[in-house]
Amino acid sequence: MGRPRLSERLQRERVFIDAKFGANSICDRCGATLDTFADACSADLDDACPGFLAIDNAKAEFNKQH
């Protein structure tokens, strides 16, 4: 079985975030990009990861605009 299809809004959000960061680093701590974030992040679960916060802030920016 394949991955579930994202809603149109989540697809637009993903495009927005991809365009905002591109292949640039989203985390000063580990140097992760959007593509490497899942594997590169070394933050503990109770630690505020800069990469996660960058993505979360981009989502908030998208929601303000849409």
pLDDT cut 90: percent of the chain above it = 62
Asked if residue 25 is part of any domain, the answer here is: yes
Token couple for 18: 């991809």
Asked if residue 35 is part of any domain, the answer here is: yes
Question: Cβ neighbours of residue 59 under 8 Å, at least 6 residues apart?
Answer: 13, 17
Asked if residue 56 is part of any domain, the answer here is: yes
Confidence at residue 1, expressed as pLDDT on a 0 to 100 scale: 57
Asked if residue 1 is part of any domain, the answer here is: no
- Residue 3: pLDDT band (50, 70, 90) is low
Confidence at residue 34, expressed as pLDDT on a 0 to 100 scale: 92
Asked if residue 57 is part of any domain, the answer here is: yes
The pTM for the full model equals 0.81
Tell me: the pLDDT tens digits for 23-35?
A: 999 998 889 999 9
60: buried, middle or exposed (CB in 10 Å: 19+, 13-18, 0-12)? exposed
Q: Give the structural domain span for 19.
A: 8-39+50-65
